[in-house]
Amino acid sequence: MKKQPTPLSFATLFIASTLSLHVSATEKKLTQTEANKFLTQTAIELEKLGYESSRAEWIYANFITEDTASLAADIGQKYTDAIVRMATEAAKYDSVKLDEVTRRKLDMLKLKLVMPAPQNAKKSAQLAKVSADLSSLYGKGKYCPDDKTCYSLRDMEQIMATKRDYDTLLDVWKGWRQVSVPMRPLFEEQTQLVNEGSKELGYADTGEMWRSKYDMPANEFAKELDRLWGQVKPLYNSLHCHVRAKLGEKYGTDKVPQDKPIPAHLLGNMWAQSWGNIYDLAAPENADPGYDVTNLLEKHQYDHTKMVKGAEKFFTSLSFEPLPKTFWTRSLFLKPKDREVQCHASAWNIDSKDDLRIKMCIQRTGEEFSVIHHELGHNFYQRAYNQQPVYFQESANDGFHEAIGDTIALSVTPGYLKEIGLLDKVPDESKDIGLLMQQAMEKIAFVPFGLLVDQWRWKVYSGEIKPKEYNKAWWELRKNYQGVMPPVARDENQFDPGAKYHVPGGVPYTRYFLAHILQFQFHRELCKIAGNQDPIHRCSIYNSKKAGKVLKEMLEMGSSRPWQEALEKVTGSKEMDATAIMDYFAPLKSYLDKQNKGRSCGW
Ligand code: X8Z
Ligand code: ZN
């Protein structure tokens, strides 16, 4: 279907870059006045189209049938075609002298689409259909090991998180990857079509278009990512070494060889993207904090509403307004029993004003409690920039959108849990290594995964990875960045990238890598503003109106200014910087390096 707009396409990102379609301004004398007129008219149309397509998309994602898919695809096509037309029109002003704000609005428009359709009705309709089919395959995906049993993705994620039997995990890991086999030809076709659309808009390919959204030249942005990854890599390698050793103790070094990548099904997560669920296997002796949030939620009988209310309260404690009444009646919190829904969590602002909603299939776990904070971060951001012109109703860059709720979740510390009555006693500092280990297994483990998904897609879009090597190239990147390997041989009959939501969903992934760097930068600075004196991993900004004020000011900017200025607002710096994440985990790094003495690390 149309993945444009995705729930967060209103979070999808556009930033200044100079796209030149070589349209001469002299064809028709274009001026500042013409540009203003064009932007005023276009804004009205954009608002109308956005509203219409959000509603269609919402219904589809909450009620997946062939009919809702085809309706959403039709409206998605109309939306995409309109934006392609607007972007083409906007490019006609490339060589016209304009004021800064007008220029930025036009730039945003040119970069608005994530999956641009070719300017040919048949091809555009085909792109909408193929995208809808991809998304449906994922949303409806199930694994039925026998006639009587069928597992949803959620069931399988639960198994991956809690079971420790090698073969059970392997079965489910392979089972979920059957879902993506039929996606392969659709993905290939989608790639061709969006590349054609991107070329028509003046980009070499879709990857280049995606990289052009960051207020700097596309190739510099790619280098920036390498630089940030280089900062985190030593810590990742230490964590990898330790976790592999622990897995070797658990499963035997024949199953987990100590000089090879880790088998991808043993890390507690369907995609091996975060490892917090197997914290128990790596928990440091004598430094375990002695509680986990899942148990606390159960003990205190938190249901889904109480979990969402709890997360909302954090935001209101910073002086954000409570969520609107309609949020509570229109959101989807639980997996319905009677119909197919897209369970992958998302946050929406249907009318670009205050019709905020989340769609999640909430489970009572600590991990999901964090995801709720993540989603509400999107909602509070969306509301904060709703006074901006429609062109700037976006985050500073897409990493910012993904980082806000996570920043708040970093403040869900033992001290905070005690304050809200979930925890009786804050463990003393001797237990901090346990907490940091848990956190690193979530956050540090994620970093290379956050990077590699789009390293793969960029190469697919540029043609460097050919369809006949989709899977091979995927597993090479998984090995190189993450040091994980498939537990059984994979080949080109499979399509393992498609087993990750954002690939069939057409949602760029680099944003999550950025978010993991940014959230620690935000946390460090907001803690300073809140007057925190504790070590940074013990800081909670709960109740700090001062921190809330600065955060809100940044969110209210939307994408009206380059992201560097938004970052500066909170952190005083214009650079993304991984020293914050490294500082946060510094005590753990020393611990890991001690543990790893005498082990051979690497793969
Ligand atoms: O997709 C998400 C959010 C919705 S924007 C739940 N995340 C990525 C993922 O699940 O793969 C959050 C972290 C990474
Ligand atoms: Zn998100």
Mind spelling out the 3-state secondary structure of 184-226? HHHHHHHHHHHHHHHHHCCCCCHHHHHHCCCCCCHHHHHHHHH
Q: Work out which ligand 1 atom sits closest to the CA atom of 371.
A: 6
Cα of 157 to ligand 1 centre, how many Å? 14
Q: Assess if residue 320 is contained within a domain.
A: yes
pLDDT (mean) for 464-490: 98
| DSSP state string for 451-506 | HHHHHHHHHHHHTSS-GGGHHHHHHHHIIIII-EE-SS---TT--GGGGSTHHHHT
Q: Which of 242, 231, 236, 232 is nearest to 592 (CA)?
A: 242
Position 8 scores a pLDDT of 40
Cα of 401 to ligand 2 centre, how many Å? 7
Q: Work out which ligand 1 atom sits closest to the CA atom of 273.
A: 11
For ligand 1, say whether the CB of 345 is within 6 Å of any of its atoms.
yes
How far is Cα 70 from Cα 231, in angstroms, rounded to an integer? 45
Q: Assess if residue 376 is contained within a domain.
A: yes
Q: Beta-carbon neighbour count of residue 451 at 10 Å? A: 24
For ligand 1, say whether the CB of 371 is within 6 Å of any of its atoms.
yes
For residue 324 the two structure tokens come to: 């609107």
The b/e string for 259-275 (b: 16+ C-beta within 10 A; e otherwise) is eebbbbbbbbbbbbbbb
pLDDT (mean) for 234-252: 98
| DSSP state string for 59-76 | HHHHS--HHHHHHHHHHH
Q: 485 pLDDT band (50/70/90 cuts)?
A: very high
Cα of 214 to ligand 2 centre, how many Å? 18
For ligand 1, say whether the CB of 512 is within 6 Å of any of its atoms.
yes
Is the pLDDT confidence value at 85 over 60?
yes
How far is Cα 579 from Cα 517, in angstroms, rounded to an integer? 9
Backbone φ and ψ for 348, nearest 5 degrees, come out as -130, 150
Among residues 81, 112, 143, which one ends one of the domains?
Answer: 112
The secondary element (H helix, E strand) that includes residue 348 is: strand 346-349
pLDDT (mean) for 433-451: 98
Is the pLDDT confidence value at 292 over 80?
yes
CA 288 to each of CA 26, 238, 279, 292: distance values in angstroms, whole numbers, following the listed order: 70, 19, 10, 10
Q: Assess if residue 72 is contained within a domain.
A: yes
Cα of 506 to ligand 1 centre, how many Å? 13
Ligand 1 atom 14: the closest Cα is on which residue? 512
Structural domain boundaries, residue 539: 293-426+511-595
CA 125 to each of CA 71, 75, 80, 117, 194: distance values in angstroms, whole numbers, following the listed order: 12, 10, 10, 9, 12
| Angle at 70 (CA atoms; ends 64, 73), nearest 5 degrees | 105
pLDDT (mean) for 38-64: 98
How far is Cα 587 from Cα 147, in angstroms, rounded to an integer? 51
SS3 332: strand
For ligand 1, say whether the CB of 449 is within 6 Å of any of its atoms.
no
Chain mean pLDDT for the chain = 95
Q: Assess if residue 139 is contained within a domain.
A: no
Burial class of 343 by CB neighbour count within 10 A (0 to 12, 13 to 18, 19+): buried
Position 27 scores a pLDDT of 57
Among residues 85, 112, 139, which one ends one of the domains?
Answer: 112
How far is Cα 583 from Cα 526, in angstroms, rounded to an integer? 15
For residue 208 the two structure tokens come to: 């280049």
Q: Assess if residue 475 is contained within a domain.
A: no
Is the pTM for the entire model greater than 0.75?
yes
Per-residue pLDDT tens for 183-233? 999 999 999 999 999 999 999 999 999 999 999 999 999 999 999 999 999
Per-residue pLDDT tens for 137-166? 999 999 999 999 999 999 999 999 999 999
The secondary element (H helix, E strand) that includes residue 552 is: helix 545-556
Q: Assess if residue 60 is contained within a domain.
A: yes
Is the pLDDT confidence value at 542 over 90?
yes
For residue 185 the two structure tokens come to: 């030809």
Please state the domain count of the chain.
Answer: 2
**Which of the listed residues 10, 344, 357 should we mutate to test ligand 1's pocket, taking the one with most ligand atoms within 8 A of CB?**
344
Cα of 428 to ligand 1 centre, how many Å? 32
60 contacts 68 by C-beta, under 8 angstroms: yes
SS3 428: coil
Among residues 79, 112, 145, which one ends one of the domains?
Answer: 112
Q: Assess if residue 118 is contained within a domain.
A: no
Residue 317 CA to its chain's centroid (Å): 25
Mutual orientation of helices 218-251 and 432-462 as an angle, nearest 10°? 130
| Angle at 243 (CA atoms; ends 240, 244), nearest 5 degrees | 80
Q: Work out which ligand 1 atom sits closest to the CA atom of 8.
A: 5
Q: Assess if residue 410 is contained within a domain.
A: yes
The secondary element (H helix, E strand) that includes residue 108 is: helix 100-110
Q: Work out which ligand 1 atom sits closest to the CA atom of 501.
A: 11
For residue 398 the two structure tokens come to: 């897409």
Position 290 scores a pLDDT of 87
Is the pLDDT confidence value at 7 over 70?
no
The b/e string for 117-139 (b: 16+ C-beta within 10 A; e otherwise) is bbeeeeebebbbbbbbbbbbbbb
Query: Could you tell me what percent of the chain has a pLDDT over 70?
Result: 95
417 contacts 313 by C-beta, under 8 angstroms: no
Strand ranges, E, within 367-452? none
Per-residue pLDDT tens for 359-393? 999 999 999 999 999 999 999 999 999 999 999 99
Q: 29 pLDDT band (50/70/90 cuts)?
A: confident
Position 28 scores a pLDDT of 67
Cβ-based neighbours of 125, under 8 Å, separated by 6 or more: 77
Q: What are the respective helix, strand and coil percentages of the chain, to the nearest 5?
A: 60, 5, 35
Position 14 scores a pLDDT of 29
How far is Cα 134 from Cα 501, in angstroms, rounded to an integer? 10
Q: Are strands 262-263 and 484-485 parallel, antiparallel or unpaired?
A: parallel
Cβ-based neighbours of 598, under 8 Å, separated by 6 or more: none
Per-residue pLDDT tens for 555-599? 999 999 999 999 999 999 999 999 999 999 999 999 999 999 999
Q: 6 pLDDT band (50/70/90 cuts)?
A: very low
Backbone φ and ψ for 341, nearest 5 degrees, come out as -130, 160
Cα of 274 to ligand 2 centre, how many Å? 15
pLDDT (mean) for 234-241: 98
pLDDT (mean) for 31-40: 98
CA 512 to each of CA 36, 218, 443, 453, 518: distance values in angstroms, whole numbers, following the listed order: 35, 18, 11, 10, 10
How far is Cα 141 from Cα 505, in angstroms, rounded to an integer? 13
* 263 strand-pairing partners: 485
497 contacts 382 by C-beta, under 8 angstroms: no
